[in-house]
Amino acid sequence: MAGPTITRVRTIATSPGEGNIQRRLIVVKVETSEPGLYGLGCATFTQRHSAVRTVVDEFLAPLLVGRDPCRIEDIWQTVHVNAYWRSGPVMNNALSGVDMALWDILGKLAGLPVYQLLGGKCREGAAVYRHADGATLEQVEERVRQFMAQGYQYIRAQWGGYGGRQALPAAPDGAMPGAYYDPAGYARSVVTLFDHLREALGFGVNLLHDVHERLAPIEAVRLAKLLEPHRLFFLEDLLPPEQVDWFRLVRQQCTTPMAMGELFVNTQEWRPLVEERLIDFIRCHISAIGGLTAARKIQVMCELMGVRTAWHGPGDVSPIGHACNVHLDVMAPNFGVQEWAGFLDVEREMFPGCPELRDGYVYPNDKPGWGMDMDEALAAKYPCPEGVLEWTQARLPDGSPAYP
């Protein structure tokens, strides 16, 4: 007896945020010939959401209709090379949306949650870390204490956001507008921040920090070395992907644990770092690398090399994408920690079956597939805004462009 075939592939775009929160979410829905059988996947690329929609709706949909949705590996490989040029974030997100939706379908056909398809649980829930920020040292400390009181064991501390909020030197006349920051002032402030937090809180809480590629390589090495006495759980995105060779020098200088990868889109970017054990945690944005199929292979490779997972989990990932993270988290022997931004109330309503957060741990449900659905009528009430992004227009004090 013939199984189901793919009958329709389409994107659903929504932005359920309010005010300064703009979560341009893209979900791919793959429908099949079996009534009521469909899958949902995350293809969220907030910065280029319309481009992803075009790839899925105009190129992947006609490619996939009529195929067997259970041939996940075959479809992944076919889509990956179908444009001939590959490994960019737009194409990978489009592929990811399809890939996650196919795993959702497979789970529903099997009557099993996705984590069971991957081998079953190693743990019941995944420990998460939250973001503590503030304009002053005291505000950051208070925010960390609040999270500790709520049961969180892992907390990322930032003083004034990415790049800090230190006073800036005067820019040259005619300097371009942008998100200005001072790398030297920022680097000094990070050491001051963790001096304060360790003095106030001791070493009973796991603290993290995100550099967000804001430093020149040699200054990044210096910062990693200066933070070594503070015993961070990890230092995140110390270097941009273009400068990863510098991680060899970081390893020679200190034992501060390194987490890297949210900007990676190509196997050749993370493979040398893992093979040479230059990082301690892999931080990929799962939809940017091509979905669950790609992430599972990275997870296994990292397990063999003693590298733990810490998948990217910001607010601009759909609840379907967060569910994918969590299903991987609970089954992976080499799980480290999961970034967690939390869900808005409207997101929980829009995506019934969201993973649940309790006392510092996030739990998947035990329903087939992702165990989730999507209210498309509600999603339509929150259209994605257009416009130019500002925060990624980072600039140095002299007006020159910098990494965001």
Q: Catalytic positions, please? A: 162, 212
- Per 3-state DSSP, the chain is made up of helix, strand and coil in percentages (nearest 5) of 40, 15, 40
Are β-strands 126-134 and 361-363 bridged in parallel, bridged antiparallel, or unpaired? antiparallel
Indicate the SS3 state at residue 326: helix
In angstroms, rounded to a whole number, what is the distance separating the alpha carbons of residues 155 and 70? 39
What CA–CA distances, in Å, run from 396 to 32, 90, 162, 213, 296? 51, 28, 13, 13, 38
User: Which strand (E) or helix (H) includes residue 236?
Assistant: strand 234-236
Distance between CA atoms of 24 and 3, rounded to whole angstroms?
A: 35
Bridge partners of 207?
155
State the sign of the Cα–Cα–Cα–Cα dihedral 30, 92, 213, 305: positive
Cβ contacts of 346 within 8 Å, gap of 6 or more = 16, 378, 382
Nearest-angstrom CA–CA distance, 357 and 341: 11
Cα–Cα nearest to 337, from 125, 180, 189: 125
Q: What span, in angstroms and rounded, lies between the C-alpha atoms of 292 and 146?
A: 33
DSSP secondary structure, 380-396, as one string: HTSPPP-S--STT-EE-
Cα(321)–Cα(323) distance, integer angstroms: 5
Residue with tokens 């949902």: 40
- Secondary structure string (H, E, C) spanning 349-366: HHCCCCCEEECCEEECCC
**What is the dihedral sign for C-alpha 88, 90, 91, 94?**
positive
What is the identity of the amino acid at 310?
Answer: A
Of 378, 1, 394, 399, the residue nearest 161 (C-alpha): 394
